[in-house]
Amino acid sequence: MKFKHKTFVQELLLKADVQIDGTRPWDIQVVDDAFYQRVIAQGTLALGESYVDGWWDCEALDEFFYRALRADLRSHLKVNARSIIHLMTARIANLQSRSRAFTVGKVHYDIGNDLYQNMLDSRMIYSCGYWENADNLDDAQEAKLELVCQKLALKPGLKILDIGCGWGGFAAYAAEKYHVDVVGVTISEAQYSLAQKRCEGLPVEIKLQDYRDLTGTFDRVVSIGMFEHVGFKNYRTFMQVVSKCMDEDGICLLHTISDNNSRYVGDPWTIKYIFPNSKTPSLAQLSKALEGLFMIEDVHNIGPHYIPTCLAWYQNFQNAWPKLKTNYDERFFRMWRYYLLAAAGNFRARNSQVLQVVMTKIGRSQPNTRSSL
């Protein structure tokens, strides 16, 4: 039986030009033969868990995932009972309800500011950079912030709402360069604390709260890398909150990772170990959620820019590991390596995209978009 399991996995990997115990960087090295049965039985969850457990290794994980996703190897694995139960739960329950809103903050963003200060750019922007004319992470993230500000047509005196403000990077940039007032909200205590310090002396207010509790009226609304935590049952609610908070002549920019297909649950390993209850939307799900509330002025896919972003994050993380490992163990290193390099491979395979969607209220004047930048 063990031989059959190995043969099945071996033949499956060959569809992606990946060899077991091969010599190329994207070939995998299997340490424990129990790996084969585990992956066949539990799919992508077991693939990630067995890597963290040290059952297999790969020199170039990003290249491995690029090949595996391009060959759609997941479709050849059985759907296990755990995945079916999770899908049914997601369809019935609201996994991103108010009572669960702060979970991802505690599990992911509150891990430790030292980790993110070493991994991210100097402004601590935790979303896709814009590498059009950039050759390093700091420049790519500044270019992304500038792109967002121009699409929002910022000018002095405007009041901006930043939903999912992170460590305050966008809020500080917009306030300093465009002389606008910013209110940023986050569900992470670690982000809230550091963002307040980073924005001291600027016309920026940082709040620790769920987006559903937002009040007030703003000239512009921006959300960068937060919508992935909203959940498909709340997409419409999110858009209604934005509509309520945005001035009639306002502009909203939504920056989010996007699926090519409409799904109800995300990858099981990512949900369990990285982003609890996360779910990236499809463009169809976004469009449906804003119907009757907003007009879509522009959709810009910058997905390929996430490849160098993830690789830069991983390189920073790896370089900083000698000092980080006093607070994090070897299993965390393998988990984080798997997360960042799998993401790079995912975007190289064009399995996911990054969308910047510019919206206005129906019938209002057309704002600046890419055609006028």
| pLDDT of res. 3 | 67
**Can you tell me the mean pLDDT for 346-373?**
85
What does the H/E/C string look like for 295-350? EEEEEEECHHHHHHHHHHHHHHHHHHHHHHCCCCCHHHHHHHHHHHHHHHHHHHCC
The CA-CA-CA angle for residues 30, 33, 38, to 5°, reads: 100
Phi/psi class of residue 59: alpha, beta or left (left: φ > 0; alpha: ψ in -120 to 50)? alpha
Is residue 87 within 8 A of residue 265, CB to CB? The reply is: yes
Strand duo 218-224 + 246-259: pairing: parallel
Distance (Å, whole) CA 219 – CA 251: 7
**Can you tell me the mean pLDDT for 23-48?**
93
Over 90: is that where the pLDDT of 308 sits? yes
Q: Tokens at residue 331, please?
A: 């299993």
Is residue 312 within 8 A of residue 33, CB to CB? The reply is: no
| pLDDT of res. 76 | 62
Which amino acid is it at 8?
Answer: F
Cβ-based neighbours of 78, under 8 Å, separated by 6 or more: 40, 41, 43
Cβ-based neighbours of 180, under 8 Å, separated by 6 or more: 154, 155, 156, 157, 158, 159, 160, 174, 203, 220
Over 60: is that where the pLDDT of 254 sits? yes
| Domain 100-372, architecture per CATH | 3-Layer(aba) Sandwich (3.40)
Query: Where exactly are the structural domains of the chain?
Result: 2-78, 100-372
Distance (Å, whole) CA 157 – CA 279: 35
| pLDDT of res. 248 | 94
Strand segments, DSSP code E, in the chain are 28-30, 56-58, 159-163, 181-186, 204-208, 218-224, 246-259, 294-301, 352-361
Is the whole model's pTM more than 0.75, yes or no?
Answer: yes
Q: Tokens at residue 303, please?
A: 């997905």
| pLDDT of res. 78 | 54
Higher pLDDT, 369 or 82: 369
**Can you tell me the mean pLDDT for 234-248?**
96
**Can you tell me the mean pLDDT for 161-173?**
98
Interval 65-78: pLDDT, tens: 999 999 988 776 65
Distance (Å, whole) CA 305 – CA 176: 26
Over 60: is that where the pLDDT of 97 sits? no
> How distant, in Å, are the alpha carbons of 300, 347, 350 from that of 305?
12, 9, 11
Distance (Å, whole) CA 94 – CA 115: 30
| pLDDT of res. 278 | 83
Collapsing DSSP to helix, strand or coil, 282 comes out as strand
| pLDDT of res. 86 | 41
If pLDDT is split at 50, 70 and 90, which confidence band does 107 have? confident
**Can you tell me the mean pLDDT for 3-30?**
93
Interval 172-194: pLDDT, tens: 999 999 999 999 999 999 999 99
Over 90: is that where the pLDDT of 164 sits? yes
